[in-house]
Structure 1
Amino acid sequence: MQRWDRVEAFVEVVRLGTFAAAARQLKVSNSHVSRLVSQLEAQLGTTLLYRTTRQIRLTDAGALYYEHCHHLFDGLRDAEAAINDLQAQPRGVLKLTSATTFGERFVAPLINDFMRLNPQLEVRFHFTNRQVDIINEGYDIAIRMGTLKDSTLIARRLCERHEYVVGSPEYFARVPVPHTLSELSRHRCLVGSRDHWRFDIHGVRREVRVEGPWEGNSGPALLDAALKGLGLAQLPDYYVDPYLASGELISVLDAYRHDDTAVWAVYPRHRHRSPKVYQFIDYLVAHIEELLPVRRNFGPAHDEPSTTDAVEKSGKVP
């Protein structure tokens, strides 16, 4: 049967560098720590540490054993801290960032409600459409849209997010409705914060570069341009749902709509035990759907993507 006090003594000696430091950490004598490590070596049938009067050094076996064992005690400390934090009151400064419009409409009201429930909490909320470096810029949480890139950050899915290509009835009174992605080059495309639109062809993500007479990095301004018949725009559902319902905008190219564009709360791994972080994210997950527009399926019946677009995806059509 494994004696965990022996393993813990060995791990602390390696982590802290001396038997004396390990003894202070474990609140026992130096000789007791030395005896535990010796008993562990006898149990394993190998030497784990080279000892001299001035330093200790791991053997190859010791390095291998430490690599496999130290995380067990890290996990135990994390578990104990998590239990202690479970009922802790959020306090201190919570620094978060979000895309401007989504943050203003949906996240800000919830952080304000959360602060009313937790008066010891302070908030620093930065609205920007720039993707910030969360760790280097010191943020606790970032609200991000779309498909996440591989990252060391932890992510919680908050809600779905669908993007529509829309135009006004006034615009379509002048030009024909597009049915394939290749037809976009013949339309006035209103360009937002990115110069490519995302689509889906038979489960494969496709990006189409667009250009037109209007360009800007404001979602509300882009929406206004589409409503006034200046061209086509690709916008998230929380911008266009009311106007699709009223008929002021018409959704096109629905067969190609790329729907894997959720909204996420992301945060650094070392923040996962902080009550202000995990309790606020739990609050977001529980309440954000109450603020979002009712999800509807707008637009005509979906047509299958055409052969032209399947070829265009392969890069054979300019």
Structure 2
Amino acid sequence: MQRWDRIEAFVEVVRLGTFAAAARHLKVSNSHVSRLVSQLENQLGTTLLYRTTRQIRLTDTGALYYEHCHHLFDGFREAEAAINDLQAQPKGVLRLTSATTFGERFIAPLINDFLCQHPQLEIRLHFTNRQVDIIDEGYDIAIRMGTLRDSTLIARRICERHEYVVGSPEYFTRMPQPHTLSELSRHRCLVGSRDLWRFDVDGVRREVRVEGPWEGNSGPALLDAALKGLGLAQLPDYYVDPYLASGELVSVLDAYRHDDTAVWAVYPRHRHRSPKVHQFIGYLIEHIGELLPVRR
């Protein structure tokens, strides 16, 4: 059976360069460290270290063994540090940015609840539909929607997000429901923050450029226009689910719905051990389902 204390003694001798330094680090005697390394060599049936009065030197076998073993103890230290960080109380200032409507409806209440539990924390919120550069602009976390671009940021999925093309029953008394993407060109499309609607065609993402008599960068205003029969709109589920359930809106082109559009919390890699970042994101994931509309 492998003895971890023997392996640890060997790793520390190599890492620190002497038996004495390893003994001080492990808080044991020099002779104890030397005995552990000898026991390990006997166990493996090979010499790991050349010992002289002035220095120690790895054998070829010892170098190979060290290369495989020292990562284990690096991992142990990182695991202990991560546990300590998670148990630490979040403090300081948490700077967060999010898309406006989603942030106001779902993120802000959870931030406020989290702050009630951790009054030593300070919050700085910024809601915008612009995709900010969170590193250059000094944010700890950004809440982002949809398919993420390739990035050096770390991303954690907060919840699912599905987009629907919807119209009111009154609108469909004047216009037939579309069944193919090519039919969208014959419809009055209400344009939100983008004029490219995303779809899935046989597993391949496709974007269709749309146009119509209405354009604006407000989700609630776009929803209101669709409810009043002004045309078709593509909106996420948390806008339209209640109205689809009540029959005030009708979903079309469901066969082409592009569903890979989750909500993400993204943050810089240098923040990956921050208690305020980790604990708040964990709180979001645990509780956001309590606020979201019931999925159809």
Q: Distance in 1 between matches of 2:111 and 2:84?
A: 24
Specify the code of the residue in structure 2 equivalent to 1:185.
S
Q: Distance in 1 between matches of 2:74 and 2:193?
A: 43
Report the 3-state secondary structure (helix = DSSP H, G, I; strand = E; otherwise coil) of the residue aligned with 1:112. helix
Specify the code of the residue in structure 2 equivalent to 1:133.
D
The answer to which of 225-234 and 132-141 deviates more is 132-141
Aligned counterpart, 1:256: 256
Aligned counterpart, 1:212: 211
Aligned counterpart, 2:132: 132
Contact kept in structure 1, 2:153 and 2:267, CA below 8 Å: yes
Per-residue deviation at 1:99? Answer: 0.9
Gaps of 5+ in 1: 16-24, 28-63, 297-318
1:50-104 per-position Cα deviation (integer Å, ceiling 9, x unaligned): xxxxxxxxxxxxxx99998886665444323212223211111111111111110
Aligned counterpart, 1:145: 145
Contact kept in structure 2, 1:191 and 1:210, CA below 8 Å: no
Cα 1:80–1:196 shift into 2, 3 Å: same
Aligned counterpart, 2:241: 241
Specify the code of the residue in structure 2 equivalent to 1:266.
V
> TM-score under structure 2 normalisation?
0.76
Q: CA RMSD in A?
A: 3.9
Contact kept in structure 2, 1:184 and 1:210, CA below 8 Å: no
Q: Distance in 1 between matches of 2:68 and 2:140?
A: 31
Specify the code of the residue in structure 2 equivalent to 1:207.
R
Per-residue deviation at 1:254? Answer: 1.0
Aligned counterpart, 2:97: 97
Aligned counterpart, 2:292: 292
Q: Distance in 2 between matches of 1:117 and 1:234?
A: 37
Cα 1:26–1:97 shift into 2, 3 Å: farther
Matched ranges for 1:61-210 at <5 A? 75-202=75-202, 204-210=203-209
Specify the code of the residue in structure 1 equivalent to 2:205.
R
Report the 3-state secondary structure (helix = DSSP H, G, I; strand = E; otherwise coil) of the residue aligned with 1:155. strand
1:199-254 per-position Cα deviation (integer Å, ceiling 9, x unaligned): 1122x233333332322211111111111211110000100111112222111111
Contact kept in structure 1, 2:167 and 2:249, CA below 8 Å: yes
Contact kept in structure 2, 1:189 and 1:210, CA below 8 Å: no
Aligned counterpart, 2:279: 279
Per-residue deviation at 1:260? Answer: 1.7
Percentage identity across paired residues of the two chains: 85
Report the 3-state secondary structure (helix = DSSP H, G, I; strand = E; otherwise coil) of the residue aligned with 1:170. helix
Cα 1:74–1:95 shift into 2, 3 Å: farther
Gaps of 5+ in 2: 16-24, 28-63
Report the 3-state secondary structure (helix = DSSP H, G, I; strand = E; otherwise coil) of the residue aligned with 1:97. strand
Q: How many residues align?
A: 295
> TM-score under structure 1 normalisation?
0.71
Contact kept in structure 2, 1:82 and 1:273, CA below 8 Å: yes
Report the 3-state secondary structure (helix = DSSP H, G, I; strand = E; otherwise coil) of the residue aligned with 1:173. helix
Specify the code of the residue in structure 2 equivalent to 1:156.
R
Q: Distance in 2 between matches of 1:75 and 1:133?
A: 32
Q: Distance in 1 between matches of 2:180 and 2:229?
A: 20
